[in-house]
Amino acid sequence: MTVIRVGHLYPDYLNIYADRGNIAVLAERARVRGHELDVRSIGLGDPVPVGEIDLFYVGGGQDREQDLVARDLAGKAEPLREAVERDAAFLAVCGGYQLLGRRYRDVGGLDLPGIGLLPLETVAGDRRMIGDVLLECSWAGGRTLAGFENHAGRTQLDADAEPLGRVVHGFGNDGRSGFEGCRYRRVYGTYLHGPLLPRNPWFADRLLAEALAHRTGGVPVELEPLPDDLERQAHEVSAGRARSRGGRF
């Protein structure tokens, strides 16, 4: 039995659309494999215990909540970067994803600092991008991710940045580039909200495998598959919605 340590950044502020449900999925999928998730919250003013945390998680929030945490997060940039270079895993959703870039200019034109962990910048536009999304991840053998997006921010990846996936249906990072999210080492940033991991079990297992590898000092090993009948159905429903009504300009 291995205890996987999760550092949940700002759970009181960044938890829109029940983003914390992703942690429940990780905990259950770890449990059935005989492991345990030890979730610690890292809030305003709390230090980042580099080396101790195997998987960081930050959820989404509106501009107001992002404004409340952005400066504090900027103060944590160094230890978070160090943890990532030392192979900790990191999942960042929507508002949290935006703050992993260099900056976020909100709808009021206010510049919030990001931590520069991911090679990207985000500027809010007038029209929100709302709808179901389907992505294809070439780095994962073409496996797909299905989810829901709701954001004003348009995210531009640097030329050498790796997206999380190619948009099959939906808006993605900016509604134009055809890219969604960003990936660096074991860091995954995405606009796909709350029910991301319940509908995409392969991605949950990928994060768990990377977090386990961080804990044991080994390489990520694919976990024993689970039946996942309901999860597959949830993915299909979500992918079908993206096909029929995924957003586009």
**Residue ranges in 23-62 that form contacts with ligand GLN under rule CB under 6 A:** 60-62
Q: Does 192 bind ligand GLN (CB under 6 A)?
A: no
Distance CA 233, CA 13 (A): 31
∠ Cα 155 99 40 (to 5°) = 140
Q: Which stretch binds ligand GLN (CB under 6 A): 24-32, 47-55, 67-75, 151-159?
A: 151-159
Q: Does 194 bind ligand GLN (CB under 6 A)?
A: no
151 binds ligand GLN (CB under 6 A): yes
C-alpha span between 35 and 58 (Å, rounded):
22
124 belongs to the binding site for ligand GLN (CB under 6 A): yes
* Single residue of 11, 55, 63, 123 touching ligand GLN by CB under 6 A: 63
- Give dist(CA 37, CA 28) in Å, integer: 9
Q: How does strand 111-113 pair with strand 103-105?
A: antiparallel
51-87: burial string, b at 16+ Cβ within 10 Å, e else:
eebbbbbbbbbbbebbbebbebbbebbeebeebbeeb
Whether 193 is a known active-site residue: answer yes
Active site residue 94: yes
* From 8, 35, 151, 193, the catalytic residue: 193
Which among 38-46, 144-152, 207-215, 220-228 is the span making contact with ligand GLN, rule CB under 6 A? 144-152
One-letter amino acid for residue 170 of the chain: G
Query: Of 69 and 134, which has the nearer Cβ to ligand GLN?
Result: 69
Please pick, among 94, 169, 182, 214, the residue that the annotation labels catalytic: 94
Known catalytic residues are 94, 193
Interface residue list for ligand GLN (CB under 6 A)? 16, 60-63, 66, 94-95, 124, 150-153
